[in-house]
Chains A and B, each alone.
Chain A
Amino acid sequence: MAADGVARRFGSQVALAPTSIQVRAGETLALIGPNGAGKSTLLAILAGALAPSSGRVTAAEPPRRIGWVPQRAGLYGRLSARENLVLFAKLEGVAEVPVAVEGLLRLVALPDDRKPASELSGGNLQRLNLAIALLGAPDLLLLDEPTAALDPTQRHALWAVASDVRERGGAVVFATQNLEELERVADRVAVLLGGKLVFDGPIAEYKRSPEADVFA
């Protein structure tokens, strides 16, 4: 997938200056930058959830399935975890909805009760958010600060899932402010500052760059 000069304005405010970036199969790309740098905006544009004000996103050939985990969980608070998964599975056109839902509930270790999603803990809510993104068996997983609400065990489980996607020939793009996570998981780093892409390169190169000092 390639973003070619994508930019986004909200009124007079520039959330993302024209940005070009590629996501390659088999890699894990980390987007880093301070709050308001444009990471979430870029991820939403790549996910197709937000139309760019200019520029375009070119999908891979053949088109890949995309799973998007927004920073704030995108799900129905009055439905239970299972009901949310069933709903999105039907919309995704999943062939065996009950099987897929059972598998994902087990994968992310979510309690299967009637409790509305709005009453789930922060960690469980994030796991449900991830499970919904995994419904279409995505080749490209876009994660927006996915581990913010997770404990170490849950983080480990999440990166295991992400690793599985990558090993299947897919790719993972995640936004983070956690430098330890960055070094442990990412192959490549893109640094956004004030809506502009100021660095895009391998993790080793990033560590030697002036941008690394900014976030150190």
Chain B
Amino acid sequence: MISRIGVLLGKDVRILRRSPFLLASLVLYPLAIALLVGLVARFANDRPRVAFVDLDGLPEVLSVGGEDFNVDKVLRQVRAEVDLIPLSQEEADHRLANGEVVAQIIVPRGFASRLRGMVQSPTLILRATRGGLSGRVERQTEALVFNLNRLLQKSYIEANLEYVDLIRKGGEGSFLGNDVSIVGLERAGEILAEIERDTDDPEIAAKAKDLRDFVREALLALDQSGSSLRAVANPIELRFEDEERRGFLLTAQVQAYALALTLAFLCILIAAAGIAAERDENVIGRLTRGLVRLGELIAEKIGLAALLGLVFGLCLALVFSAALALGGVSGQPWSRLPLLAVGLVLGGAAFGAFGVFLGVLAREARTASLVALLVALPIVLLGFLPEASVAPAAWVSNAFPFAHSVRLFESSLYDLSPWGTVAREAVWLVGLLAVFAAGARLGVRRLLT
């Protein structure tokens, strides 16, 4: 049996070698799709259109706590995240209703004066539709408010520290718009010391001493107020550090998706067209009248898909590994290639079984190729959807080899301890391989008519 399958496998490899354009297309097409899907996922709707409704008429420069804020400059920072369109409330409502913008950021009346007052927090209003991009806009608006707060908190802290300084040293100042003149704790301590020294009344001297002790304690406490205020403002600080060596295209996830996508198109198409071509060439009757059993023919096509998956998957993985090595990225996955090879064989075989199943249903090579392409694309796209976000898509996706292949490849290449994930996904792939192969075996007699 093995030798018969080997003879047919040799024949198919020989035929494929004579179709370099087809093979190149089958490898380059999914890579191009992977790149496009990656770019779309990364950049599409990167800057959702958001209406900016300024009901307060924000000035160009806003002075808060003695510091000047260039409002335009702040808005430019926001524009890096969203496409901010200044609109009147009426126009913004109209555009939100017809979907031209996905949200409104509204600056209500009194916003600037509240901000300047530094006593009550002013409020920005985000009005967004439910679903779609609203979650994304919500997060970006939260990030905007976070960034604004970060800019403002420094001014708030400095202003508060000026008040503290005024309390400590005394002098002229302004609070809530009123000019005030205060003596200050240091001077109060000196006055109390003079009273304590100059008085003849021991009771007054004792009271003055108590007050002077309180003033000293208060001064000590206020000395710490600067760091306390900063700590209260930022209980946890986030520091941004750039990892420049591993670009987006070399991330573990992108590599796993690229490998799985290549295998999906290559193996499904080759297996589907391959089994149907046996009928188109009118050889299936000749083969199955004692030379080759139908089950062997199915096994051979699955084997062909596994072989192509291994060869082209390894080539792709080697290119990624070389790119990582050239980029000087540590942890490049040369040592994981043998484990990946096992995954490629399993993934290729599972995709191949699915392809053979489609091929026996379609019966003709051209129809099978078209059906394979049409079916492969949504399966792949389903696998791209985040499991946590679209649960039903994940359930459907689990019934096909793509999502399992992605997880297996990613784990094989980069997990510190890949064995659990690899074993689980390998079992899934073997199960799907068995199911689709059984389906193909049930339907393969269609090719004999």
Contacts and interface: CB of A to CB of B under 8 A. Distances in A.
Interface in A60-77: 66, 68, 70, 72-77
Contacts of A91: 4, 7-8, 287, 291-292
Nearest to B292: A91
Contact of A72 (B3, B18, B282, B448): B282
B289 interface: yes
A79 B289 contact: no
B130 interface: no
A40 B190 CA distance: 122
Contacts of A51: 445, 448
Contact of A66 (B14, B288, B289): B289
Contact of A68 (B7, B289, B448): B289
Contact of A49 (B8, B15, B281, B285): B285
Nearest to A87: B11
Interface in A1-31: 10
A127 to B, nearest CB: 16
A100 to B, nearest CB: 15
Nearest to A89: B7
Given A48-B289, A68-B286, A79 B4 contact: no
Contact of A50 (B8, B14, B448): B448
B282 A70 contact: yes
A76 B286 contact: no
Given A10-B449, A51-B448, A74 B282 contact: yes
A79 B286 contact: no
Given A68-B286, A91-B4, A91-B291, A76 B449 contact: no
Interface size class on chain A is: 20 to 34
Given A49-B448, A79-B14, A44 B291 contact: no
A78 interface: yes
A48 B284 CA distance: 11
B289 A78 contact: no
B18 A78 contact: yes
Contact of A74 (B11, B286, B445): B286
B3 to A, nearest CB: 8
Interface in B266-305: 281-283, 285-292
Interface in B381-413: none
A181 interface: no
Contacts of A44: 285
Interface residues of B, number: 23
A79 B448 contact: no
A94 B287 CA distance: 15
Contact of B285 (A50, A79, A83, A88): A50
B264 to A, nearest CB: 25
A73 B290 contact: no
Contacts of B3: 90
B15 A78 contact: yes
A7 B445 CA distance: 17
B15 A79 contact: yes
Given A74-B281, A83-B14, A48 B448 contact: no
A165 B159 CA distance: 111
Contacts of A75: 281-283, 286
Interface in B1-54: 3-4, 7-8, 11, 14-15, 18-19
Contact of B286 (A10, A49, A83): A49
Contacts of A50: 285, 448-449
A149 to B, nearest CB: 14
A139 to B, nearest CB: 14
Contact of A48 (B4, B281, B282, B290): B290
Given A48-B290, A83-B14, A90 B7 contact: yes
A88 B15 contact: no
Contacts of B448: 49-51
A92 interface: yes
A47 B289 contact: yes
Nearest to A83: B14
B235 to A, nearest CB: 71
A49 B449 CA distance: 10
Contacts of B285: 44, 47, 49-50, 68, 70, 74
A47 B290 CA distance: 10
A132 interface: yes
Contacts of A132: 286
29 contacts: A10-B449, A48-B289, A49-B286, A49-B288, A49-B289, A50-B449, A51-B445, A51-B448, A66-B289, A68-B289, A72-B282, A73-B282, A74-B283, A74-B285, A75-B282, A75-B286, A76-B281, A77-B281, A79-B11, A79-B14, A88-B286, A88-B291, A90-B7, A91-B4, A91-B8, A91-B287, A92-B291, A116-B18, A132-B286
Closest 5 interchain pairs by CB? A49-B285, A48-B289, A74-B286, A74-B282, A91-B291
Interface of B: 3-4, 7-8, 11, 14-15, 18-19, 281-283, 285-292, 445, 448-449
Interface of A: 10, 44, 47-51, 66, 68, 70, 72-79, 83, 87-88, 90-92, 116, 132
